[in-house]
A and B are shown apart, each in its own frame.
Chain A
């Protein structure tokens, strides 16, 4: 069983390999929605999580058709994320673990995104682009760790899109509307394109896009230009990492993976470098319990455990700080 609570989403899922192939038996989520035009408030989000925790947990067990005693272990998202939110999931997982005597398994939320996406797509040794509200990182596995080849120096791409949306008066997440609005234009406005080596920077792009909005340029044109410029930056650093690592697979994971234009750009790059693109299915691209349950199960089988006393949350836990026991 896995408990997710890093940011907006409180989720619980049960995953099993008892029938052979990994199977997601249940995946229940309840998402905190901030007011239109506002970002996530950690305290409000954690209050939401506290309120929905019990019903979500019960439903996850019911949907999976299992009793809590059938569960082998409880995994939780230990970080990175918002402290108040992480603590709710950690408390739920610790309680279940202590009361029912189940092993407690710490999971890194970012790695869990990648591992679930890899499991669902059958990617075996991919270069990964993880893009969401909390992450913008290019990583590949080597010698026991996920190694970072490039990342954002400031905002994540999801933050940039959401903050731009809020400036335009839209609720977050803005991803779907952003895609729809962008598709209605083909006017490219001049925006800063900032690639620094293998890293990208989105803050200048966000500021300039907001300025265009303030200058009363069409929202669709600004969305289109923001998309073309921002995603081209991501595509460029992916291509650089791909040329450097010579991987034959590229996996795109995280909420922004749902964007078809980004997928199209990466497909073209993969074509040039003889690699294959794998994209996480849309329903599992966002934060969910299933990523924690699956990665927890991998950890369980590889002997990963944590004592309750040592299980405090890690708000800024980098994925390249985790020694991986389940990959060769």
Chain B
């Protein structure tokens, strides 16, 4: 658990993620380091809040049937979460590389849709649904990074949650965008139920219509 023994896995925008040792076990140390560009008061408020939120949402999501890493320890002051290390590959790579073929990729995307629906039914909005935050571990899919999650049952929030995945499909995986979104929505419908899913998807259209540059300025 000393910093010197830790290996930097990724330095994302949100936090630095280290691989280290936690009482003899491999563990991920997710540390929200201070952001120099932010006012210190604002910065500390955001880091404390997101650390606490993330830890509680990770636990809550698992109760809803969404696989997430186990939490070992939370240090709110330092903005640090210690959690289970998942040996797997990011869905982003799987989709981009068409790993396992188109059918397998679509299967994972359907599972993404199911996961999102389970969260939404459990009143949780993930808030950061990118394909980098889904990890394929063996034959299971896990979801990480709940730093922007919040509780809501509003259609609007559900739609925006899904919209982000859409944006990512369009931007990162533009070659297979339609397949990716199609399969995600299929899985979402399956768990959410046709009627409820339809409401969210209608709202999603509204969100996209309302987005900038689709309407007149001012």
Residues on A lying within 8 angstroms of B by beta carbon are 6-7, 39-40, 80-83, 110, 133-137, 140, 142-143, 145, 147-154, 156, 159, 188, 193, 195-199, 228-229, 232, 235-236, 239-244, 264-266, 268-269, 272, 315-320
CB distance from A153 to the nearest CB of B (A): 7
28 chain-A/chain-B pairs, Cβ below 8 angstroms = A40-B218, A82-B218, A110-B213, A136-B212, A143-B174, A143-B175, A145-B174, A147-B174, A148-B170, A151-B211, A153-B210, A153-B211, A188-B39, A193-B46, A196-B148, A197-B167, A198-B164, A228-B38, A228-B39, A232-B42, A235-B38, A240-B12, A244-B130, A264-B37, A265-B38, A266-B37, A268-B36, A315-B217
| A-side contacts of B210, CB under 8 Å | 153-154
Residues of B within 8 A of A40 (CB): 218
Residues of the B chain whose Cβ atoms lie less than 8 Å from the Cβ of A315: 216-217
Interface size on B, as a range, is 35 or more
Among A6, A153, A319, contact of B207 (Cβ-Cβ < 8 Å): A153
B 157-181 binary contact with A (CB < 8 Å = 1; else 0): 0001100100110111011000000
Instruction: Chain B residues near A140: list those with CB within 8 A.
Output: 171
A243 touches B13 (CB 8 A): yes
Q: Is the CB of B207 within 8 A of A236?
A: no
Chain A contacts of B211 at CB under 8 A?
151, 153
Q: How far is the CA of A110 from the CA of B213 in the complex (A)?
A: 9
| Cβ–Cβ contact A197 & B128, under 8 A | yes
On B, residues with C-beta under 8 Å from A are 11-14, 35-39, 41-42, 46, 127-130, 132, 148, 160-161, 164, 167-168, 170-172, 174-175, 207, 210-218
- In the complex, what distance in Å separates the CA atom of A264 from the CA atom of B39? 12
- When C-beta atoms are compared, the residue in chain A nearest to B36 turns out to be A268
- From residue B181, how far is it (CB to closest CB) to chain A in Å? 15
Distance, CA A214 to CA B113, complexed state (A)? 45
